[in-house]
Chain A
């Protein structure tokens, strides 16, 4: 039973690393946007 649950858990976590890598890219782009929006001079 435990082996079966482990197998199901592995299926649920399939593709985790590529998704986390994609998420890291999105987050990096977002924070780059933060520095673009707040660091450049402009009215207000």
Chain B
């Protein structure tokens, strides 16, 4: 085995460029996508994130058809498809009797089927796996620049719109009544969701990208009570999950994307039981106090 425990931690990143790139890509996704996931969770829109992740698939598939495994074409296609599904499901909700969750579900199921159909009829199974599960160990400079740019834009936008976003989670009617920022905030937030899913899709694939967005946010909910700390805790959980997942995949030859998401899942499970803010143990310890 290793001479020292820290050697197991540092050696893969010191020796291999692809491991450093994978780590940076995951950290960029953690910094950009996870805070967006926190606001999705607070707005009770966690499943919307999942639906949107599937919705970008046909756009990315059309980009793949036009230009092969081109970063620019697949990103642009994914962005257009994601925004189209978000806007169309909102429009259908406004002009028909269908609720937003049902129209979003309908659009994302159609998108998913269409995307898989396009990729599998024109490409190989390897291409389909690339689109569905990503290639975190094969991130090139262009992909890293894209991920870091999306993360930078997300952090700046969230810093600027933090208070309107928090208010929209707590009391959207109040925000609408006192400020014209409500519509701007909502649309900007949806754009951030789609942007981060498209970025995450290059590293973790359409099926896994939403995992690094929602699981750390759900885990952090059991450790932090204020929204600021919730964001910080979620980003910390996402980064630790990324690091642990990559190391596990390196040392035990596991697929990297699922390993990262499974570690985030374990963090969620541990938080659910031991988290001091509403975790199972904390609630069990509090109960006698309430009973007396």
A residues contacting B by CB (< 8 A) are 4-5, 8-9, 11-16, 19-20, 22-23, 26-27, 30-31, 33-34, 36-38, 40-44
Contact = CB atoms under 8 A, between A and B. Distances in A.
Interface in B157-211: 158-160, 162-164, 167, 178-179, 181
A22 B179 CA distance: 26
Contact of A37 (B20, B152, B164): B20
A20 B159 contact: yes
B30 to A, nearest CB: 10
Given A31-B148, A40-B20, A44-B18, A14 B163 contact: yes
A43 B159 contact: no
B151 to A, nearest CB: 6
Contacts, number: 77
A42 B17 contact: yes
Contacts of A42: 14-17, 20
Given A23-B156, A44-B18, 4 more contacts: A12-B181, A27-B152, A38-B144, A43-B15
B104 interface: no
Contact of B144 (A9, A11, A23, A37): A37
Contacts of B151: 27, 30
B17 A43 contact: yes
Given A8-B178, A9-B179, A33-B24, A23 B155 contact: yes
Contacts of A13: 163
B77 to A, nearest CB: 25
B62 to A, nearest CB: 29
A19 B159 CA distance: 5
Nearest to A34: B148
B91 interface: no
B54 interface: no
A33 B151 CA distance: 13
B20 A26 contact: no
B27 interface: yes
Interface string B1-39: 000000000000011111011011001100100000000
B159 A23 contact: yes
Contacts of A30: 27-28, 31, 148, 151-152
Interface string B38-81: 00000000000000000000000000000000000000000000
A38 B27 contact: no
A12 B167 contact: yes
B155 A27 contact: yes
25 contacts: A4-B178, A11-B163, A12-B163, A12-B179, A15-B162, A20-B156, A20-B159, A23-B155, A23-B159, A26-B31, A27-B155, A30-B151, A31-B148, A31-B152, A34-B24, A36-B20, A36-B24, A37-B144, A38-B144, A40-B20, A41-B17, A42-B14, A43-B16, A43-B18, A44-B16
